[in-house]
Amino acid sequence: MSRFKLVTTIALAGTIALLTSSVYAKERTKGRGAPGIPVIYVTSQDMYYDTLLLGDLPYNETSNFQKLEPGLGPSGVQTEFGPGDTEYYGGRWWVDANENGYMDEEDVYFLCPLLGPGRSEI
């Protein structure tokens, strides 16, 4: 893994955790929804899902990854599809690290499944 990808992956994981836990720590005390558990907003469902980062994935020159957009949405991280949607890839994400609009070997790929059930509030 290149140094750029490693730094980007670490930064992404930290960003997901920080954006989704520190503001809501008082409301979430243990288990799912606890502080430090990242939350991803699914736009097509208007739902929030807890998640956990399981690890990096290699770029395999296929389109079987779903775009994850940090810095967007009510939780700070959003995607278009979630569990139950045909277009959901089971938590196989890509982040457009070089911001060129398409998947390539310079982007970040990782496994981070959404944990159901979703909820309507963070």
Q: Which letter does DSSP use for residue 121 in this model?
A: -
Condensed to tens digits (0 to 9), the pLDDT of residues 12-53 reads: 655 554 444 433 333 444 455 556 788 999 999 999 999 989
Q: What is the pLDDT of residues 47-104, one digit of tens each?
A: 999 998 999 999 988 889 999 999 988 989 999 999 999 999 999 999 999 999 999 9
pLDDT for the residue 35: 62
**What is the reported pLDDT for 62?**
85
Q: What confidence tier does 107 reach under pLDDT thresholds 50, 70, 90? A: very high
Strand duo 77-79 + 39-42: pairing: parallel
User: What DSSP string runs through 102-113?
Assistant: S--TTSEEEE-P
Is the pLDDT at 10 greater than 70? The verdict is: no
Global pTM?
0.74
| pLDDT value for 34 | 59
Range of the domain at 66: 3-119
Q: What is the pLDDT of residue 18?
A: 46
pLDDT for 4: 53
Closest by CA position to 110, among listed 5, 23, 3: 5
**Rounded distance between C-alpha atoms, residue 49 and residue 112, angstroms:** 11
Which residues are CB-contacts of 31 (< 8 A; sequence separation ≥ 6)? none
The whole-number pLDDT of residue 115 equals 93
From residue 74, alpha-carbon distances to 25, 57, 60, 78, 122 in Å are 16, 27, 31, 8, 8
Between CA 3 and CA 91 the distance in angstroms is: 24
Query: Shortest CA distance to 112 belongs to which of 57, 73, 63?
Result: 57
Number of folded domains that form the chain: 1
